[in-house]
Amino acid sequence: MQYKLSEIAPKEIMPGYHGKLVHTQNTSLAFWEVEEGAQVPEHSHMNEQIMHVIEGEFEFTLDGTTKVYHPGDIVVIAPHLSHSGKALTPCKLLDVFSPTREEYK
């Protein structure tokens, strides 16, 4: 199967987080455009997650430790680990989830 990112309609999954989503049997990819100031409240989930900052500055708290991430930074988030985030500037992020994030479909 093939996709063109430009042809995928974005979904606002949470306020300020506009995702273009691709799902496979075992993985979800979320290409986010994030508005400055948009926040993800602290949460955890059963999915392993890899976050890649493509553009902007993103403040991210993982298991109680807060850091600011920049383009090229990658964070691996283990299943069930608490995390939250805030876009300090407009951001582009890529999240990869395994298994598939069914609630994002």
Mean pLDDT of residues grouped by 10 in the chain (105 residues)?
A: 95 97 97 98 97 98 97 98 98 98 92
| Residue 83 placed within a domain | yes
Q: Give 65's strand partners.
A: 62
Name the residue type at position 5: L
| Residue 48 placed within a domain | yes
Q: In what order do the strands lie in the sheet with 58-62?
A: 39-43, 83-87, 58-62, 65-69
| Residue 2 placed within a domain | no
Q: What pLDDT is stored for residue 80 in this prediction?
A: 98
Enter the pTM of the model.
0.94
Best CA proximity match to 58, nearest among 80, 76, 40, 82: 40
Q: What pLDDT is stored for residue 1 in this prediction?
A: 87
| Residue 9 placed within a domain | no
Q: What pLDDT is stored for residue 75 in this prediction?
A: 98
Question: Domain holding 82: CATH number?
Answer: 2.60.120.10
- Enclosing domain of residue 65: 31-104
What total number of domains does the chain contain?
Answer: 1
| Residue 22 placed within a domain | no
| Residue 75 placed within a domain | yes
* Pair 44, 14: CB distance under 8 Å: no
Read off the pLDDT of residues 84-95 as tens digits, 9 standing for 90 and up: 999 999 999 999
| Residue 66 placed within a domain | yes
